[in-house]
């Protein structure tokens, strides 16, 4: 059983992952909605002026709108569309667009492998006990799991 460390009453306690999600992810984190505005803007670029404004706003060296749109369309017709909502699919396509997988040194990693890596966004994940790490796929079918996935995905932006 996967457990999560929760700081409560001035100490860390281990609780089941589902209990953690029920306590901490009843709602989508507000930062998700804010960042999704930029994701949607990137998907709707129609001209050079919008492109230049977008890359400046996000401090990007480049942005391939057509590649991101294709990634998104491919995701919508993949098995991931049965697991993740549309915003998560857009966000993942956006990660491809900002070069996330190259930045983490895994340009050839399949999306399936990536979503199954336990503790993918945890610093020093190699030192975390296996029963305290979870992957995005571990969250999918749990109550509030999609809210938790959205929160976890925001950590990809730190790369």
The DSSP string of 40-51 is HHHHT--SHHHH
Report the domain count for the chain.
1
Q: Residue 1: its pLDDT value, please?
A: 80
The alpha carbon torsion through 104, 110, 112, 118 (nearest 10 deg) reads -30
130 is in which domain, residue-wise? Answer: 3-158
Q: Residue 159: its pLDDT value, please?
A: 58
Q: Which of 154, 159, 115 is nearest to 30 (CA)?
A: 154
Place of tokens 């391939």: 64
Contact assessment for residue 122 and residue 134, using Cβ atoms and an 8 Å cutoff: no
pLDDT tens digits in sequence order for the chain, 159 residues long: 888 887 777 888 889 999 999 999 999 999 999 999 999 999 999 999 999 999 999 999 889 999 999 999 999 999 999 999 999 999 999 999 998 988 888 888 899 999 999 998 888 888 888 888 999 999 999 999 999 999 999 999 875
Beta bridge partners of 60: none
End-to-end CA distance of the chain: 29
Please give the model's pTM, rounded to 2 decimal places: 0.91
Output the six-digit token pair for 107.
């340009």
**Helices and strands in the chain, H and E counts:** 9, 2
């Amino acid at each position: 059983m996967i457990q999560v460390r929760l700081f409560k009453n001035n100490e860390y306690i281990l609780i089941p992952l589902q209990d953690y999600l029920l306590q901490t992810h009843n709602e989508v984190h507000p930062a998700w909605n804010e960042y999704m505005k930029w994701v949607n803007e990137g998907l709707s670029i129609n001209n050079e002026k919008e492109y230049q404004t977008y890359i400046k706003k996000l401090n990007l060296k480049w942005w391939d709108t057509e590649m991101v749109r294709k990634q998104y369309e491919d995701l919508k017709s993949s098995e991931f569309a049965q697991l993740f909502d549309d915003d998560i699919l857009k966000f993942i396509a956006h990660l491809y667009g900002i070069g996330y997988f190259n930045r983490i040194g895994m340009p050839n990693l399949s999306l399936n492998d990536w979503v199954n890596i336990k503790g993918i966004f945890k610093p020093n994940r190699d030192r975390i006990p296996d029963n305290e790490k979870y992957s995005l796929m571990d969250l999918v079918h749990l109550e509030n799991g999609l809210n938790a996935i959205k929160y976890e995905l925001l950590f990809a932006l730190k790369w």
